[in-house]
Structure formats: structure tokens, C-alpha cells
Structure 1
Amino acid sequence: MTATPDLLRRDGFPDHFTDVDDLEEFMSRPTQELVDDLAEITGDFIVLGVAGKMGVTLARLLKRAAPGRRVIGVARFSDPDARAKLEGWGVQTISCDLLDRDRVEALPKVENVIYLAGLKFDSDGRENFMWAMNTLAPAYVAEAFAQSRIVALSTIHVYPWSDPARGGVDETTSPRARPGEYANSVVGRERIFEYHSLAHGTPGRNVRFVYAVDTRYGVMQEIADWVWNGVPIPLETGTVNLMWQGDAINHFARLLARTKVPTTPINIGGPELVSVRNLAEQFGEIFGKPPVFTGVEGECLVVNCEQASAELGHPYVSVRTMVRWVAEWTRSGKPTIGKPSKFHVRTGSF
């Protein structure tokens, strides 16, 4: 008999996390809804771009939710620690450059694909590589896995600026060119998956994801760090969507049971729009350090996630709980990943 996994529930949350292992164990807990959804579909799983900030916990989550099925993690694996972690959790790993068409074609053909690969940061001077990662690699994957389900990570950067008072942009707004080559390249990524979905009848979803919250990185961790160190907090991008990473990866995986032909977009994020000023003030109260602000709030990238709430339900972890966890992690000096989200950057170049 297959053992019942430790589940993410809506209560009984820890007060804090003692270390990275404790954090990752909690963050990779499946919900009962995920266990049930995966039981409704057949086949094994492959996570492409598994070595990134979300992929490691996502692959572990899949293995915990469906322990009797194979989970394969694919990446270049420049960080051997990520590969060792995955294999220790029972995830099979394969080293592969997704720009090598022959090697992509040689990957095991499983029924369920989650695509996390791409390039956003530090691409100045190598824009051609960014475009290749964000359009060519998806094309090779879509060709190789034409008979699979494909849930592909996209971004809210395909959307225009909007007024937060109007509730954010929903999926009816078509992706469009924006300042900066990154945004344009990820519009290309979505269109590539759409084209192949139509051409081959491949079921899929394009996940227009907002900002993940992990105590080690992300918008909330950056704001907490700024408050803790007295760094002025820019307010021009004064409203954000946030979601606990454990909730986010549960929703990504659940979309495998909700793929469509042709593939369609869905905004994944918390149901509320969150004020950067208010977050900073909450951290300031906890730390006893009043935050310092610069600039004024204006239009920004915020999305409406009502469709995701209707399909998948609300996230389990609230903004207030995330604030408590991030504040404790920051105040106690626990390690961070050191890869800022650059959520406040408005030029389109990250």
C-alpha cells in the first residue's frame, strides 16, 4: 500500500522554520486536492528546468503526491547540490541543454510535462541567448513532447501596465510587446506553445505567474531586508501579487489535470493585490524600525487571479502568515538565495 504523504493543510502552520531543510520540507507538501487531481490522470512526470528556484521543490512535491510514479528532473545542473537533493528524494535526474534539439528529442517521453526553463535576469549583452532560451527551447520541447500534456511557466510581463484600483489585468487581455526584450521574448514563448498545441493537438496551459514568496528570496524577502537595513523602499511599483511558493507549485501541478486544446493562459497568484507600503510597515512594526520610502505609487504590473481561484481554490497560506515567516527568517539572519526579483525595475531590462 502506498503511504499517505504529509499534506499541506489550512491550519497547524509552524511559527517559523528552523533551517533550509525544514523550509523545503514544508514547502514541498502536496495538498489533498493535488493528490486527488494527479490520481485522475495517467503517466509519469518530467520537470524541465528543474534546478531553478521553484523546480527543486516542485519535483519533490510531485514525488510526494504520487510516490508510485516516476518523476524526472531535467536541467544543465551547474549546481551539483540541487541534483544531489533531487536524487535523495527519489527524483531521477538527467543533464540536458534544452537548446540541443537532439538531446531534447532523446529525453524520456512521459505523459506529463512541466516546463520551467527560461532566461530573464542579467541578459544585457546576450539578448540573442535570451531569445533562444525563451523561444527556441520551447519549440524543441513542444515538438518532442507533442503527445504529452504541457504546463508551461510564463509571466505577467506579457501584460501592459494597469491601475491597481481597477483590480488587475485578466486573461482576456492578449499578450503584447512591452519595453525591454525580455517581455517580448516571453510573448514569443507563449505563442510557440500555442502554435504547437494547435498543430499537434497537444493539451496545455500557459501559467502567467506572479511573485513567489520563499523566506529566502522574492518580493517579500527583499522588502523585509530593506526595512531591516534601513534601505529606502521604492514605491513606483507600489502594488504586487504574491503567493507562497508551496501554494504556487501545488497549483502548477494541479493544472496537469486541467490542460486544454489549444493551450490557454491562466493567471496564478494570490487573490488579493498587496500594497508594498503596507508590507513595509508591517515589517517595520515587527522589527521596531520604521521603513523609509521613495517615490509614489503608480501604474504597475498586477493581475486578476479570479479564474485560478475558480478552478483551483484560494491559496492555503495568507499574506499575514508569510509576513510572520519572512520577518523571523530575516531577523534571525538565516541564509538567502541572493537573486533579487527586481520587481521594482520598470525599464523592462532585468
Structure 2
Amino acid sequence: MTTDVIPRIPASAPGDEAALDELLSRPLPGVGEALAATGGDVVLLGAGGKIGPTMARMARRALDGVGSSAKVIAVSRFSDAAVADGLREAGIEVQAADLADPGAYRALPDAAALFFLAAMKFGTTGAEHRTWWSNAAMPALVADRYRGVPSVVYSTGNVYPLTPLSHGGSVETDPPAPLGEYAQSCLARERIFTHAAHTWDTPATLFRLNYACELRYGVVADIAVRIAAGEPVDVTMPAVNVAWQGDVAAWALRSVELAGVPPHVLNATGPETVSVRRLATWLAEDMGTEVTFVGTESDDALLNDSAECHERYGYPTVPLRRLVRWVAEWVSGGGRQLGKATKFQQRQGNF
């Protein structure tokens, strides 16, 4: 059994969070086959965050779709018990663990495929010691525990420098030039898994993302919330790349098939370089209100060229303009936000 049909994407925004989570986790073609080919259980470390629940649900649904009984095991501290309960209801095995504790690793489940999502970004400034422990020390513990296991390691486009708007964004072969301690620690994570690949023959994919968006979180939601509150939108960071989180989850799950030694680097985002001013203008139109701006557009931005990802896995199933319209509808209707701003406006790497 295969999953060759791309799910139909509705014209209107999901009406509630249950419908939103269902839509986000609909498997795209190839996900089930890629996971089943690993030959065993799928483990997601740091699965309680923004994208982990989407990936876990999609993995379970995709494996079911190809007739695989492999387990999907979500590991996290699960500070929000409702997240853990929701995953259990979706047929996912849940294991609570604090990955910051070196003593936790002995009890972690074995895996045929590993997805490592745990990281620290927000609150980095003033807590640099915790940032480096989360983004550099923990990866060393994970890499040691899962020697030889094909691994998809979430990273970030922040490892790249700001690039001129005319450049088209950084590609995978561009040398990293991380700005600020968050981005530097993320590059350390990549280097640690690269060492594991060469030392323990651990195949890996380094999944450089910016930015995943859904209706409760992401750059588009950040801008919409400011507009709804009557606050000006800062355009100093003049442009961004964004993609629907459901597509990002599918690309990440499929990218286990790219894992290699040395690691395969894959950029992940939408195809457009979209101006922040235009995003805000669209949102204001769709929300039936006005928008004001502050700052002056710079001539460079943090941009990510994902041409390889789109060649392999296709363009996003939710077009940018529809995503914007959905966010406007959700925010105007009082839909819940996760309260985790992306801080995409930062140009000095301070998060």
C-alpha cells in the first residue's frame, strides 16, 4: 500500500485546533515509505515542542497508511500534560525524559530512525550557558546513545549569514557564518553530529529550517498578532522565507532517506523571498484593518534557498497567499496562539 495521493487542502482555515492538528499531520506522499524503509521504530527526541507533535502524528498516520506496525515514540519533558495525552490518543508511545540530564539516556528507547528536535532558542540572551548545554552538549549525548542510527537533526538557517536580497538566499554549500551565540551553538550541534557520522558511521541529515508557520505560531502569525493589537510592524528585516508546518514536517520525515556519511545538508522553507511589508499589507487587508510600519528596510536578510528540497519533495501544498489568509482568519477570530514569537526581526542574533 502506498500514499501517492496529495491530501486535498481546504480553501478556508481550520475551524478549531482539532481540525488544525488533523490538517497539519496529514501525511504527504512518500513519508510512510521512507519511514518503513528504516525497518523499525521511529523515535522523536524533543517531541513536545512546536513541531514535534505534528511530526509524531504524521509519522504514525503515514506508517499506518503503508501497513507498518513500527512504533512511533515521542520523548520530551512534556511540561504540558495535554500534549502527551493528545499524542497517546493518536497511537503514539510517549516517554517522559529530561534530555538535559546525562543520566536519562540509559532509559531512552532504541530506534531504527531518530529525529532530534530538542533545542533552545528563546531566552538565549542572558542564559548562554543553558543555550550551549542544550544545543551542543545534549547533541553529544544523543549522538553517543544513538550510534549508527540514521538521524535527522533539526538545525536552522541562522547558521548562515545575512545575504543581499538580490542573492536569492543561502544554499547548502555556502559556508556557515553564524551571528550570535544561538546560531553559533546550532553550528556546534551540526559539527557534533558530523563527528558522530565520521567516527561511528552514523548516517545523518542536517535539516536547516527557517521558518515553519501554522496558525498559532510562526512569522505570519507574529505579524498578524501585532496588527490585531494595533502595534506597528518592524520592517528592518526586510524579507523572510516561510512554509506551512505540515509540509516542513513531511520533508523532515522523508529526509531520513537522505541520511549519509558525511551528513546530507538540506535547507527547508518556502520558495518565495517575501517582503515583510507585503506580508503585513496582505494580513491587514484580510483582517479588514490598517497596518503601520516602523524601521527602514535593510538591503540584506536571513534567507534560505530550498531549491533542492523542492526538487526532491515538491513545492508546499499550502500556497503562501492561502497561508496568510488562513492566519488572518484565525487571528481575527480569536484563535489561540502558542505565545512563542519567532523574533524573526533580530539582525544581531540575540534571542
Taking structure 2 as the reference length, what is the TM-score of the superposition?
0.94
Contact 2:196 2:202 in 1 (8 A): yes
Find the counterpart in structure 1 of residue 43 from structure 2.
46
Find the counterpart in structure 2 of residue 164 from structure 1.
165
Structure 1: distance between partners of 2:175 and 2:75: 31
Structure 2: distance between partners of 1:57 and 1:337: 14
Find the counterpart in structure 1 of residue 225 from structure 2.
225
The alpha-carbon deviation at position 349 of structure 1 amounts to 1.4
Q: Structure 1: which 5+ residue stretches go unaligned? A: none
Find the counterpart in structure 2 of residue 190 from structure 1.
190
Contact 1:48 1:75 in 2 (8 A): yes
Structure 1: distance between partners of 2:129 and 2:226: 34
Contact 2:76 2:95 in 1 (8 A): yes
The alpha-carbon deviation at position 20 of structure 1 amounts to 0.6
Give the AA of the match of 1:267.
N
* Alignment of structure 1 residues 125-274 onto 2, 5 Å: 125-178=126-179, 180-274=180-274
Find the counterpart in structure 2 of residue 287 from structure 1.
287
The alpha-carbon deviation at position 7 of structure 1 amounts to 6.8
Structure 2: distance between partners of 1:347 and 1:241: 18
Structure 1: distance between partners of 2:5 and 2:132: 39
Structure 1: distance between partners of 2:202 and 2:34: 19
Structure 1: distance between partners of 2:106 and 2:316: 36
Structure 1: distance between partners of 2:188 and 2:36: 33
Contact 1:177 1:184 in 2 (8 A): yes
The alpha-carbon deviation at position 287 of structure 1 amounts to 2.3
Q: Structure 2: which 5+ residue stretches go unaligned? A: none
Give the AA of the match of 2:46.
G
C-alpha RMSD of matched pairs (Å): 1.7
Structure 2: distance between partners of 1:202 and 1:320: 40
Structure 2: distance between partners of 1:12 and 1:190: 34
Give the AA of the match of 1:94.
Q
* Alignment of structure 1 residues 50-89 onto 2, 5 Å: 50-67=47-64, 68-89=69-90
Of residues 226-235 and 296-305 in structure 1, the stretch that sits farther from structure 2 once superposed is 226-235
From 32, 35, 40, give the equivalent of 1:35: 32
Contact 2:60 2:72 in 1 (8 A): yes
Deviations 1:211-241 (A, max 9, x none): 1111011100111122223211111111101
Structure 2: distance between partners of 1:290 and 1:133: 41
Share of identical aligned residues, percent?
37
Taking structure 1 as the reference length, what is the TM-score of the superposition?
0.95
Contact 2:182 2:349 in 1 (8 A): yes
Contact 2:204 2:259 in 1 (8 A): yes
Contact 1:215 1:326 in 2 (8 A): yes
Give the AA of the match of 1:140.
L
Contact 1:7 1:29 in 2 (8 A): no
Contact 1:8 1:29 in 2 (8 A): no
